Amino acid sequence: MVTVFVKRILLFAILPVMLWYGIQKASNQILDKEILEKSIESKTQLLENDYRGTKIIVAGDSRAERQIIPDVLSDSLNLPAINIGVSAGDLVSLNAAIEKYYKTKEKHIFIISTSSWQINDGAIDPGYMSLKSYQQLSLLEKSDLYSQNIGEMMRMELRILKYTMLNVLRRSSFTPSYSSDIIDMKGYLQVDGLISTEESDSTIYNQLRDHPFYKNADLDGIRWSLFENTIKKLAGSNHLFILIQPPVAPYWKKKIEGSFVDSIEGEFSQKVSHLISDFQNIEFLDYYNNSLKSLADSTFYDYQHLNGKGGYIFSKDLSTRILQMKLQ
């Protein structure tokens, strides 16, 4: 009976895990050089084809895409610029894009919007964990990170399997496609409107409680290690990097002052500032804790995104600070 029990354990428990582990190893080797994010790859390809010789690349998440205007940077710095930022764009996927498209002796300046959700182990809702980040995790890390959300883990595994099979069959996993209007603006997406400053405290509390950025906050776990390792890879390149923690609307900042969200954003700033302090080619600009007085509520269309007017003011300030850094 014992022998039969052991065989069943081997057949139904150990062998599947070993098989899964083997598939993981093979997929990682096959997908090692792939970006795995269609939006970043499409946007980078199309912009690089249309605007050759760029020196400044704006990148990161939606707060880069919708807030930093390439033409304003170009006019102030006298260097051609593009914006490859995308919604929920993360540092790990960006590093993959840099290794694929910018691994040359030519030096570029990357201006990168970073956010606290990128290091929060609780921020694993759909859209908040890039496939490239997921692919770089070990089997144990995946199991730990998704222990309370196995369904999402299985969805990510199926996406990895899809990309792996497409590569094995030598079929392209994407067709470059992006809004022509955004490409015409060198990657910048302007969104207009005004933030509502009449939300009740209960509405704001519910937004904070349910927001994927801050859910089950843990900034010292698996995602922080991934972020830290990626920063070290960037530091080993010949490019220059300016990491940005973007501003939030004054109304919102006042509302969350002293809250757990304020604490998370403050901790993120401290961790990033300390991390990059040893690297000569990386700077950090903290607009969350050092707000621009010129960015009033009227320059935001929601609590964390600037409208067109705000984007212009923000881009001008960035240009001034970059000139002061004497990076060129």
pLDDT for the residue 200: 79
Give the three-state DSSP class for 306.
Answer: strand
Q: Which two tokens stand for residue 280?
A: 């000569």
Reported as a pLDDT band with limits 50, 70 and 90, residue 89 is very high
Tens digit of pLDDT for each residue in 17-61?
566 556 667 677 788 888 998 899 999 999 998 998 899 999 999
* Domain range list for the chain: 38-123+183-325
| Both structure tokens of 311 | 């984007």
User: Given strand 109-113, what is the order of strands in its sheet?
Assistant: 81-83, 56-60, 109-113, 240-245, 282-286
- Is the pLDDT at 1 greater than 60? The verdict is no
DSSP class of residue 193? Answer: -
Please provide residue 248's backbone torsions phi and psi, each rounded to the nearest 5 degrees.
-125, 165
Task: Give pLDDT tens digits for 272-305.
Answer: 999 999 999 999 999 999 989 999 999 999 999 9
Looking at residue 116, its pLDDT comes to 96
Residue-level pLDDT at 215: 87
Place of tokens 């603006």: 185
Q: According to the model, what pLDDT value does residue 267 have? A: 97
Cα separation, 223 vs 314, whole angstroms: 29
236-251 residue pLDDT tens:
999 999 999 999 999 9
- Nearest-CA neighbor of 236 among 283, 281, 284, 285? 281
State residue 28's pLDDT score.
Answer: 72
Apex 264 CA angle, 57 and 66, nearest 5: 30
pLDDT tens readout for residues 167-223: 877 655 556 788 899 999 999 999 999 998 887 777 777 777 778 889 889 999 999
Residue 16 has pLDDT above 80, yes or no: no
pLDDT at 143: 93
Residues facing 109 on adjacent strands: 56, 240
The CA distances from residue 113 to 60, 235, 243, in Å, are: 5, 17, 6
As a whole number of angstroms, the distance between CA 85 and CA 81 comes to 12
Average pLDDT, the chain: 89
Contact 86, 43 (CB under 8 A): yes
Q: Which residues contact 21 (CB under 8 A, 6 or more apart)?
A: 139
pLDDT at 327: 61
Homologous superfamily in CATH for domain 38-123+183-325: SGNH hydrolase (3.40.50.1110)
- pLDDT, residue 52, reads 86
Query: According to the model, what pLDDT value does residue 8 have?
Result: 57
Section 296-318 average pLDDT: 97
Task: Tell me the C-alpha to C-alpha distance, in Å, between residue 129 and each of 1, 59, 220.
Answer: 45, 17, 16
